[in-house]
């Protein structure tokens, strides 16, 4: 990791920033599928909660080719949905209900008064979505709890991106995460 990248990550206050997954997102022209509403917290959970996603645009991304759409401030409003988990017992992935231990005591307290589970399916379409069109070479930083999605790509242009999911490695990393702890990569 370059010093510039380490310096950039340091501003997010993680004690031990750790890459838990990176991936290429391929939305070829006329073929890229939609991604349903979700939070990245559903896939990588720590206690206390930590994490962010770095989304690098490798192509121009706009509404015509399926740019990211977010629900502004949803990281402060909605609780994450079910968790994606891997069972060592049967070697399969499962969706599990949210657990209270994945939230801080302040989040649990606010959940009783302000935070609600975000809607799924057609109900999610009624949320106030904001598109994030960006030119190639741009970076979007997503909070682990921000509700986001992307549409399919019916256009003539591709929409390629690269993501890096980062957690605080100093936090407890549940054995139920679908990525095993030994696969994590510390940044510094």
pLDDT tens for 25-49 read: 999 999 878 888 888 888 887 888 8
DSSP output for 12-72: T--SSEEEEEEEEEEE-TTTBPPEEEE-GGGTS-EES---EEEEEESS-B-GGGT-EEE-T
Q: How far apart are CA 132 and CA 11, in angstroms?
A: 23
- pLDDT on residue 99: 55
Q: Is there a contact between 50 and 167 (Cβ–Cβ < 8 Å)?
A: yes
- Among 88, 103, 97, CA closest to 50: 103
> Looking at residue 58, which CATH number applies to its domain?
2.60.120.620
Q: How far apart are CA 51 and CA 14, in angstroms?
A: 9
Q: Tell me the whole-structure pTM to 2 decimals.
A: 0.83
Q: Structural domain tally of the chain?
A: 1
Give the pair of three-digit tokens for residue 145: 């709890």
Confidence of residue 71 (pLDDT cuts 50, 70, 90): very high
Confidence of residue 112 (pLDDT cuts 50, 70, 90): very low
Range of the domain at 38: 3-186
Give the pair of three-digit tokens for residue 7: 């310096």
Question: Cα angle at 6 between 161 and 21, to 5 degrees?
Answer: 40
CB atoms within 10 A of CB 178: 15
């Amino acid at each position: 990791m370059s010093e510039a990248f380490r310096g950039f990550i340091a501003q997010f206050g993680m004690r031990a920033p750790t890459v838990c997954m990176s991936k290429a997102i391929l939305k070829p022209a006329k073929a890229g599928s939609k991604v349903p509403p979700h939070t990245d917290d559903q896939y990588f959970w720590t206690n206390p909660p930590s994490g962010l996603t770095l989304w690098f645009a490798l192509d121009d991304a706009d509404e015509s080719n399926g740019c990211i759409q977010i629900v502004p401030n949803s990281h402060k409003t909605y609780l994450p949905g079910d968790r994606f988990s891997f069972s060592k017992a049967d070697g399969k992935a499962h969706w599990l209900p949210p657990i209270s231990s994945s939230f801080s005591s302040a989040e649990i307290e606010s959940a009783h008064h302000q935070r609600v589970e975000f809607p799924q399916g057609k109900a999610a379409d009624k949320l106030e979505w904001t598109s994030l069109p960006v030119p190639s070479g741009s970076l979007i930083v997503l909070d682990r709890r921000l509700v986001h999605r992307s549409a399919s790509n019916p256009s003539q242009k591709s929409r390629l991106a690269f993501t890096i999911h980062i957690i605080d490695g100093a936090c407890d990393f549940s054995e139920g995460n679908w990525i095993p702890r030994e696969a994590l990569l510390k940044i510094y």
